[in-house]
Amino acid sequence: MEAIQDIEGGMMRIAISGGAGFLGSNIVEEAKNRGHEVIIIDNLSRPQIERNWGWIHKTYPEVNLFRFASWNKWAIFNVCKMFKPDVIIHLAGQVGVTSSIRDPEYDFRTNALGTFTICEVARKLNCGIIYSSTNKVYGDGINDIPLNEEETRYDFKGEYYKKGIPESFSIGSLEHTPYGCSKLTGDLYVTDYGKVFKIPTVVNRMSTVYGKRQFGNVDQGWLSHFIWSKVNNRLVTVFGNGKQLRDMLYGSDCAKCYIDQAENLDEVKGNVFNLGGGWDNTLSLLEGLKMLKMDYSFGDWRPTDQKVYYSDISKLKKMIGWTPKVDIKRGLKLTEDWCYKNA
* Residues belonging to the active site: 179
293/285 Cα distance (integer angstroms): 12
**Size of the chain in residues:** 343
**Beta carbons of 283 and 227 less than 8 angstroms apart:** no
**Beta carbons of 250 and 119 less than 8 angstroms apart:** no
140/142 Cα distance (integer angstroms): 5
175/136 Cα distance (integer angstroms): 10
61/243 Cα distance (integer angstroms): 44
The DSSP secondary-structure symbol of 113 reads I
**Beta carbons of 65 and 40 less than 8 angstroms apart:** yes
| Residues 12, 17, 23, 29, Cα dihedral to 10° | 30
φ, ψ of residue 302 in degrees (nearest 5): -90, 155
C-alpha pair distances (Å), 184 with each of 47, 112, 187, 270, 276: 25, 8, 5, 16, 18
194/214 Cα distance (integer angstroms): 31
Across 210-220, b (16+ Cβ under 10 Å) vs e yields bbbbbbbbebb
- Please state whether beta strands 245-250 and 201-206 pair in parallel, antiparallel, or not at all (unpaired): unpaired
CB atoms under 10 Å from CB of 122, counted, come to 26
Q: What residues pair up with 299 in beta bridges, in sequence order?
A: 239
Q: Which distant-in-sequence residues (6+ apart) come within 8 Å of 172 by Cβ?
A: 139, 141
